[in-house]
Amino acid sequence: MLKVNGINVFYGDLQVIWDVTFHVKEKEIVVLVGANGAGKSTTLKTISSMLTPQKGTIEFSGIRLDQLPASSIIEHGLVHVPEARRLFPDMSVEENLIMGSLTPEAKAKRNETMEHVYGLFPILGERKKQMAGTLSGGEQQMLAIGRGLMGHPKMMMFDEPSLGLSPLLTQQIFEMIKKINGEGLTILLVEQNVRQTLSMCHRAYVLENGRTVLEGTGQELMNNEHVKEAFLGI
């Protein structure tokens, strides 16, 4: 479904991504793991066309994303749930969800999808008139996921969905990601919680200093000596 092939990415004159290559198959959960500054979030931003690679290609369902503006990415069925959630704090829960459903296809299915979101996250239905900025961190993350689902995506990219959450809420968010994947949605996940994500993914890639250095199933990487030492404290 997604093919990232040899991308180089710069911030101004500073190169931060070197020849990163990976792929995501339909209905998979694929995880990008790595230390802070490894290039994980930059990779997601590049897939979303917020950044343009100076080299390499990005294809989604056969369409070259690296040649498209960021505003058109969602029209092809790819949704990015960014780090720190990036909600509209002075808009209600319901208004935030509506903002996620502005493409023609998503508009046509808005009511149906919103009911589905409220079914996944009942607390959002209870607080649909509440301002998003007044929600707890966990509730805001639920809303960010819900807003992404409102776009009727084929694939969702999550950037650090457990950031700032308690262990219990983190577990709940990961369970919800597994649930929506079980409903057929493809997932690309960036996350610092390496142990948790490797245990739930189909495949994973390790990024170090802007390069892909390892790949394999979650279990294979859990058993890898370098991953154990660098990320699992074993």
What is the per-residue pLDDT across 95-125, written as a single tens digit (0 to 9) for each? Answer: 999 999 988 989 999 999 999 999 999 999 9
Q: What percent of the chain has pLDDT over 90?
A: 77
pLDDT of residue 234: 58
pLDDT, greater one: 233 or 217: 217
Provide the pairing of β-strand 203-208 with 211-217: antiparallel
Q: Is the pLDDT of residue 227 over 70?
A: yes
Band the pLDDT of 79: cuts 50, 70, 90. Answer: very high
Give per-residue pLDDT as tens, 153-180: 999 999 988 888 888 888 888 999 999 9
Query: What pTM does this model have?
Result: 0.92
**Facing residues of 47 across strands?**
none
Are the C-beta atoms of 120 and 146 separated by less than 8 Å? yes
* Residue type, position 16, single letter: V
Q: Which CATH number fits domain 25-38+70-232: 3.40.50.2000, 3.40.50.300, 3.40.640.10, 3.30.70.590?
A: 3.40.50.300
